[in-house]
Amino acid sequence: MKAHYYPGNLAAELLVRWPGAAGSLPPLAELEHFISVAYQASLLF
């Protein structure tokens, strides 16, 4: 596993690494947006 990922890469990697959970995860664009917002929020602290 890489040391860091950009939101889009992380979202795609999640779908690849856990294909069984793909049905319970949101679509790629929504997952990428969620990860991006969570990352931005983490910078506030």
Q: Tell me the pLDDT tens digit for each residue of 2-43.
A: 666 788 888 888 888 888 876 888 888 999 999 999 989 999
Give the pLDDT of residue 34. Answer: 92
Residue 25 domain-assigned (yes or no): yes
Q: How many CA atoms lie within 13 A of 9 on its CB side?
A: 6
Residue 23 domain-assigned (yes or no): yes
- Note down the domain range covering 29: 7-42
Q: How many CA atoms lie within 13 A of 39 on its CB side?
A: 13
Question: Long-range contact list for 34-42, CB < 8 A, 24+ apart?
Answer: 35/7, 35/10, 35/11, 36/7, 39/7
Largest CA distance in the chain: 34
Q: Is the pLDDT of residue 1 over 60?
A: no
Flag whether the pTM goes above 0.85: no
Residue 34 domain-assigned (yes or no): yes
What does residue 36 show for φ and ψ, rounded to 5 degrees? -65, -45
